[in-house]
Amino acid sequence: MNASVSLLHSVLPTSVSLQVGVPAGHPSAGILGTDRMGSGTIVDGSGIVLTVNYVVLGADKIEATLPDGSIVSADLVAQDFYSGLAAIKIPGGPYLAAQAAAPADLHPGQEVFILASSGNSGRRVNSGAVFSLEAFDAFWEYRLERSIIATAMNPGLGGGALFSNQGKLVGVVSLDFNEVGRFTLAIPVELFFEHRDELLQYGRRVTRPPRAWVGLYCHVLRNHVVVAGVLPNGPAEGAGLKPGDVVLSVDGVEVHDRRTLYEHLWAHRPGEAIRFQVFRNNNVREISVEGTDAEEFFA
């Protein structure tokens, strides 16, 4: 752990631990559970806390534990399904807030460290370096045109802070890649700050046109996109897509990677039909899926 003690002391008061309750009937409960724990970072003295959306998705109860051990109730105030970030509001203040770095201040090879909750008032830290700032697409319907891949392993719960070696907030930890070299994915914080006023006023990105979502998971195998799973009660399941289906084309355009698949899905608006051609059991099938709005599905 290379982060200096003084640097850690300067950012530690910005770290928050989250305990989240989600109703059993919420669409995310079967995947993410009803009792969730996560990390968050205070980004405004008024008590705005930034975290990752999957921690608070569907929440009807949020409790935040501050570094001094005090526990307060929090409200979900913003969700961005495009970036994967969410913001909650804790009462009281003023609080010490983390300072965000400018995107241009971050570069591959730069030293960074993760500060995350280990539950309640416990905090853990781990250091590493920026490995990549390239685009990233996930196995669910999600893509970042600019991501942060770091060699620092996440030492705690998801939603923690990725800081530069100057103590500036650069990202929110989202995903661990322990199976492929112990890398960590962080969502760049500018994706929140660039749309901060809109997100806090409306709770979501209202100026961005809604895009279709079908509720599938997929991986790439030998230059083919294979359906790994479908979300229960989602559009893909309802239309008949099944795990193991090989996606040959969407709307007549051949698909060989997730980026192409997602781009063609997102070219549609919710309510429009999307034509899938899939290979299943040695047969080619045509399946029409009516996309929906993920924000409405998970509301």
Q: What is the rounded distance in angstroms from the CA atom of residue 159 to the CA atom of residue 26? A: 21
Backbone angles phi, psi at 270, to 5 degrees: -55, 135
Of the listed ranges 79-88, 172-181, 254-263, the one predicted with least confidence: 172-181
Q: Report the mean per-residue pLDDT for the chain.
A: 94
**Is CATH 3.40.50.10490 the classification given to domain 103-197?**
no
Contact 293, 81 (CB under 8 A): no
Question: Is the confidence at residue 193, as pLDDT, over 50?
Answer: yes
Rounded to an integer, the average pLDDT of 19-35 is 96
CATH code of 9-96, in short, is 2.40.10.10
Rounded to an integer, the average pLDDT of 114-130 is 92
CATH superfamily, region 216-297? PDZ domain (2.30.42.10)
Question: Is the confidence at residue 210, as pLDDT, over 90?
Answer: yes
Q: What's this model's pTM, rounded to 2 decimal places?
A: 0.93
Q: What pLDDT was estimated at residue 9?
A: 87
Q: What pLDDT was estimated at residue 104?
A: 87
Q: What pLDDT was estimated at residue 182?
A: 65
Contact 82, 207 (CB under 8 A): no
Q: What pLDDT was estimated at residue 1?
A: 47
Question: Is 103-197 in the same CATH topology as 9-96?
Answer: yes
E strand or H helix at 199: helix 196-202
% pLDDT > 90, the chain: 88
What is the per-residue pLDDT across 9-19, written as a single tens digit (0 to 9) for each?
899 999 999 99
Instruction: Give the helix, strand, coil percentages of the chain, each rounded to 5.
Output: 20, 40, 40
Per domain, the residue ranges of the chain are 9-96, 103-197, 216-297
Question: Is the confidence at residue 278, as pLDDT, over 60?
Answer: yes
What is the per-residue pLDDT across 219-234, written as a single tens digit (0 to 9) for each?
999 999 999 999 999 9
Residue scoring higher pLDDT (119 or 45) = 45
Cα 77 off chain centre by: 16
% pLDDT > 70, the chain: 97
- For residue 54, the 8-state DSSP code is H
Q: What long-range pairs does 29-32 form, CB within 8 A, spacing at least 24? A: 29/58, 30/232, 31/231, 32/57
Which residues, in sequence order, are bridge partners of residue 161? 115, 172
